[in-house]
């Protein structure tokens, strides 16, 4: 039996990093390093849930997959190695360069054919995102006008940069940060097989370089909103990691959820203080319940 331990990003929309223990016919996964869920795989490759647990407190029978539990119990330390190096990018209509990350896969063979390309910043019911750069716009809105959620402003901005007929391309990312392009959606012949350098790819999820200050700030704030989850990524520059650490400290409850999955730190002491704040917030919330 071959056991695989790996991590990969959850995208379309972005939901952080998934850490997986895979034994072939079954797998277990976690998004926080504490809560685990188990899935069994059918012959057709479909997965269905069979239980969950917190660390080693099982809530499903090991008889469902003794091999899976053996693999989980002998797992290496978290975080696991990130393996999703095949990336699908929405392309900027003007430059033809990567604009927003749509999907990732572990292999070229898993890269599906495309029928459309739309970037989604959040799940349908998630309207919590608030951007400081849009406050002035909101204040200037006529009193009777229907408010537009900030997530929708962001989605329209990014997708508009790729329309009216969006292009998307799969890339295999290389160790030097560049990428080799292959198939995609509505690609000009010159794009197939092209090689792009590291500088052509946004470091995070979306290109932060826009002609307008508000547009750039909006994408910047979107990344700061996801700062805690983004800290679980590999290959961040020290400057970006430092910025995300500062942003994550402003939402300490999110930092607490993923702290054990962060692979490296610039200022760990600062994050430890934020974790104390998060635990105090949890305690106050529990006391008031």
Percent of the chain with pLDDT over 90: 74
Q: Are residues 196 and 257 in the same domain?
A: no
Cβ-proximal residues to 31 (8 Å cutoff; 6+ apart), any chain: 10, 15, 16, 17, 18, 19, 257, 258
Shared domain check, 193 and 97: yes
Mean pLDDT for 172-201 is 97
Return d(Cα 39, Cα 47) in angstroms, integer.
6
Rounded Cα distance between 94 and 81, Å, is 35
- Judgement on whether residues 66 and 90 belong to the same structural domain of the protein: no
Same domain, 237 and 124: no
Q: What is the pLDDT of residue 60?
A: 55
Q: Please tell me the distance from the alpha carbon of residue 4 to that of residue 246, in angstroms, as a whole number.
A: 33
Nearest to residue 88, comparing CAs of 109, 117, 115?
117
Q: Mind listing the pLDDT tens digit for each residue in 29-60?
A: 999 998 888 888 877 677 777 777 776 555 55
Identify the CA nearest to 209 among candidates 124, 92, 131.
92
Q: Is the pLDDT of residue 97 over 80?
A: yes
Q: Give residue-wise pLDDT tens across range 234-256.
A: 999 999 999 999 999 999 999 99
Domain boundary among 28, 52, 73: 73
Is 64 a residue whose pLDDT tops 70? no
Asked if the structure places residue 48 within a domain, the reply is yes
Q: Where are the alpha helices (DSSP H) in 108-207?
A: 135-139, 150-160
d(CA 50, CA 37): 8
Q: Which domain holds residue 246?
A: 226-288
In this prediction, residue 40 carries a pLDDT of 85
What DSSP state is assigned to residue 82? B
Domain limit, last residue, from 171, 192, 213: 213
What rounded mean pLDDT belongs to the chain? 92
Q: Assess contact for 213 and 227: CB atoms under 8 A.
A: no
CA-to-CA distance for 190 and 10, rounded, in angstroms? 30
Tell me the mean pLDDT in the region 15-40: 91
Task: For 41, list phi and psi in degrees, rounded to 5.
Answer: -110, 130
Q: Stretch 202-213: mean pLDDT, rounded?
A: 98
Phi, psi at 261, each rounded to 5°? -105, 5
Say whether both 20 and 46 belong to one domain. Answer: yes
- Are 186 and 129 part of one and the same domain? yes
Least-confidence region, from 71-75, 180-184, 209-213, 233-237: 71-75
Distance in angstroms (rounded) separating the CA atoms of residues 256 and 248: 10
Q: How many domains does the chain have?
A: 3
Question: What's the pLDDT tens digit per position in 123-145?
Answer: 999 999 999 999 988 888 887 78
Please enumerate in sequence order all residues whose Cβ is within 8 A of that of 13, keeping only pairs 6 or more positions apart, or say none. Answer: 120, 121, 122, 123
The torsion angles phi and psi of 206, rounded to 5 degrees, stand at -140, 145
Tell whether 115 is covered by a domain: yes
Confidence of residue 1 (pLDDT cuts 50, 70, 90): confident
Q: Is 200 inside any structural domain? A: yes
Q: How does pLDDT run across 100-120, given as a tens digit for each residue?
A: 999 999 999 999 899 999 999
The counts of H helices and E strands in the chain are 8, 11
Contact 231, 262 (CB under 8 A): yes
81 domain residue, yes or no: no
Query: Of 24, 40, 73, which marks where a domain is finished?
Result: 73
Instruction: Assign 63 a pLDDT band (cuts: 50, 70, 90).
Output: very low
Average pLDDT over residues 6-20: 96
Look up residue 241 and give its two tokens.
């990691």
Higher pLDDT, residue 54 or 191: 191
* 208 and 236 share one domain: no
């Amino acid at each position: 039996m071959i056991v695989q331990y790996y991590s990969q990003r959850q995208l379309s929309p972005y939901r952080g990093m998934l850490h997986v223990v895979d034994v072939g016919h079954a797998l277990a996964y976690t998004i926080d390093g504490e809560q685990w869920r188990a899935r069994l795989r059918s012959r057709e490759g479909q997965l269905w849930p069979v239980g969950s647990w917190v660390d080693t407190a099982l809530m499903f029978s090991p008889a469902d997959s003794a091999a899976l539990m053996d693999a989980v119990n002998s797992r290496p330390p978290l975080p696991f190695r990130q393996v999703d190096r095949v990336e699908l990018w929405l392309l900027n209509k003007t430059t033809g360069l990567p604009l927003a990350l749509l999907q990732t896969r572990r292999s070229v063979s898993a890269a599906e054919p495309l029928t459309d390309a739309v970037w989604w910043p959040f799940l349908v019911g998630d309207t919590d995102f608030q951007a400081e750069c849009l406050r002035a716009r909101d204040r200037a809105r006529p009193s009777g006008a229907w408010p537009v959620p900030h997530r929708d402003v962001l989605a329209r901005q990014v997708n508009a940069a790729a329309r009216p007929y969006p292009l998307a391309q799969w890339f295999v990312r290389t160790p030097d940060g560049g990428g080799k392009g292959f198939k995609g959606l509505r690609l000009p012949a010159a794009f197939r097989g092209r090689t792009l350098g590291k500088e052509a790819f946004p470091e995070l999820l979306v290109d932060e370089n826009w002609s307008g200050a508000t547009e750039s700030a909006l994408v910047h704030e979107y990344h700061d909103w996801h700062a805690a989850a983004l800290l679980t990524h590999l290959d961040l520059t020290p400057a970006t990691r430092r910025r995300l650490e500062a942003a994550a400290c402003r939402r300490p409850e999110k930092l607490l959820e993923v702290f054990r999955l962060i692979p490296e730190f610039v200022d760990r002491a600062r994050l430890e203080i934020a974790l104390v704040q998060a635990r105090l917030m949890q305690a106050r919330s529990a006391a008031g319940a």
